[in-house]
């Protein structure tokens, strides 16, 4: 769909949901590049209400023809909505459309939290460098708050597939090994060895069945120059599971971005301490090692799927080539590191 048509159809969609508003228009549309699983646009909604001109910055997240990560739009929407207004900062969700009629594919519209950075590009330079430890403490504190949250009280137990504390590791490993089986385009000896190790050394049952963000890493939040975090983003892989899964994913060596500390931010023991204090849970080393190695398998499955999606031809976005070229070998090295072979 060309942009003028998108603007017109989005404006009509929103106008139908704001009966009190007049002269509703979508303006200042700009595509935010970088996301491989959703198409993201920033825009300004203008309208008049009770004789007064109004405007609000909003975000449109729409499914592309073939996404890097196959997930339900509703999962992402409901996860944001569940945490909005609580300890975990997230943008407000406004409208969810699961059909194709309005914009050609499912989408949601959310508030824009403006004035902050996302991604990792600016982090490793001034004026952000001095705030990295504070940002790290905040990052793992918020992750602990996600782990502490009660999925039933949040209403997410009705949206996300149920699981059990002792079966969650197998469900996750089966899923991502299945993705590798379906999508790998070249053999992966290191990751296959990692899978064999994981199956031979299962982790203890989860301390609780918690909300798992699914992609909690440096760069997937909005931050300022003082170490503050103003919005946790990218909830499309949210599910119920072992809270150590998110901690392990945050320690995936590829998310250190070549820097000394996990996430490029904070010494490992300090990150674990912040998470434990906020979650009220513990991170036993052997269990955490299992989930860190699992994170390497999951990461590799995503990078391999990225290559497969591009090769299949339905989506030739160059963003799909980047993880395949830049991260598959790095992820192998991450797995070697976690297993003590690097």
Which positions lie near other proteins, rule CB under 8 A? Answer: 3, 30-34, 185-190, 192-193, 196, 253-258, 307, 310-311, 316, 318-319, 321-322, 324-334, 336-337, 341-342
Q: In the bound complex, what is the minimum distance in angstroms from residue 321's beta carbon to other proteins?
A: 5
Residue number with CB closer to other proteins (10 or 146)? 10
Least distance (Å) between residue 192 CB and other proteins: 5
Q: Which CB atom, from 41 or from 169, has the smaller least distance to other proteins?
A: 41
Q: CA-to-CA distance for 196 and 193, rounded, in angstroms?
A: 5
Cβ proximity to other proteins: between 222 and 320 the closer is 320
Q: 47 or 255, CB closer to other proteins? A: 255
Comparing CB distances to other proteins, the nearer of 8 and 185 is 185
Strand partners, 58: 43, 111
* Cis amide prior to 126 (ω within 30 degrees): no
The nearest distance, CB 209 to other proteins, in angstroms, is 31
Separation of alpha carbons 174 and 168, rounded Å? 10
Q: How far is the CB of 185 from other proteins (least distance, A)?
A: 5
**Is 158 or 196 the residue whose CB approaches other proteins more closely?**
196
CB of 328 to other proteins, least distance (A): 8
Provide, rounded to whole angstroms, the least separation between the CB of residue 75 and other proteins: 26
Q: How far is the CB of 221 from other proteins (least distance, A)?
A: 18
Query: From the CB of 263, what's the least distance to other proteins, in Å?
Result: 11
Handedness of CA 244, 245, 250, 253 (dihedral sign): positive
Q: Which is nearer to other proteins, 180 or 237 (CB)?
A: 180
**Strand 229-232 to 107-111 pairing:** unpaired
**157 vs 321 by CB, closer to other proteins:** 321
**Per-residue H/E/C for the chain:** CCHHHHHHHHHHHHHHCCCCCEEEEEEEEEEECCCCCCEEEEEEEEEEECCEEEEEEEEEEECCCCCCCCCCHHHHHHHHHHHCCCCCCCCCEEEEECCCCCCCCCEEEEECCCCCECCCHHHHCCCCHHHHHHHHHHHHHHHHHHHHCCHHHHCHHHCCCCCCCCCHHHHHHHHHHHHHHHHCCCCCHHHHHHHHHHHHCCCCCCCCCEEECCCCCCCCEEECCCCCEEEECCCCCCEEECHHHHHHHHCCHHHHCCCCCHHHCCCHHHHHHHHHHHHCCCCCHHHHHHHHHHHHHHHHHHHHHHHHHHHHCCCCCHHHHHHHHHHHHHHHHHHHHHCCCC
CB of 135 to other proteins, least distance (A): 18
What dihedral angle (degrees, nearest 10) is formed by the CA atoms of 80, 86, 92, 95?
50
Q: Given the complex with other proteins, which of 209 and 304 has the nearer CB atom?
A: 304
């Amino acid at each position: 769909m060309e942009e003028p048509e998108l603007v017109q159809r989005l404006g009509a969609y929103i106008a139908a949901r704001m009966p009190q508003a007049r002269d509703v228009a979508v303006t200042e549309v700009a595509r935010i590049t970088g996301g491989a699983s959703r198409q993201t646009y920033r825009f300004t909604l203008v309208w008049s209400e009770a004789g007064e001109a109004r405007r609000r910055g909003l975000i449109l997240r729409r499914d592309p023809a073939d996404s890097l990560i196959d997930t339900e739009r509703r999962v992402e929407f409901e996860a944001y909505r569940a945490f909005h207004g609580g300890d975990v900062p997230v943008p407000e969700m406004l409208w969810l459309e699961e059909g194709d009629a309005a914009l050609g594919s499912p989408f949601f519209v959310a508030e824009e939290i403006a004035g902050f950075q996302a991604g990792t590009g600016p982090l490793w330079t001034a004026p952000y460098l001095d705030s990295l430890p504070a940002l790290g403490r905040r990052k793992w504190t918020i992750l602990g708050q996600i782990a502490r949250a009660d999925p039933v009280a949040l209403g997410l137990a009705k949206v996300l597939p149920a699981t059990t504390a002792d079966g969650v590791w197998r469900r996750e490993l089966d899923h991502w090994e299945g993705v590798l089986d379906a999508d790998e385009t070249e053999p992966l000896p290191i990751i296959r060895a990692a899978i064999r190790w994981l199956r031979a050394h299962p982790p203890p049952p989860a301390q609780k069945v918690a909300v798992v963000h699914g992609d909690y890493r440096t760069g997937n939040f909005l931050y300022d120059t003082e170490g503050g975090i103003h919005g946790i983003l990218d909830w499309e892989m949210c599910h119920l599971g072992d809270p150590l899964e998110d901690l392990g994913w945050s320690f995936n060596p590829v998310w250190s971005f070549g820097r000394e500390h996990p996430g490029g931010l904070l010494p490992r023991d300090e990150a674990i301490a912040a998470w434990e204090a906020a979650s009220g849970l513990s991170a036993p080393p052997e269990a955490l090692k299992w989930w860190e190695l699992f994170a390497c398998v999951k990461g590799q499955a995503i990078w391999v799927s990225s290559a497969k999606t591009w090769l299949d031809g339905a989506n030739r976005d160059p963003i799909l080539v980047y993880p395949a070229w830049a991260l598959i070998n790095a992820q192998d090295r991450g797995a070697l590191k976690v297993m003590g072979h690097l």
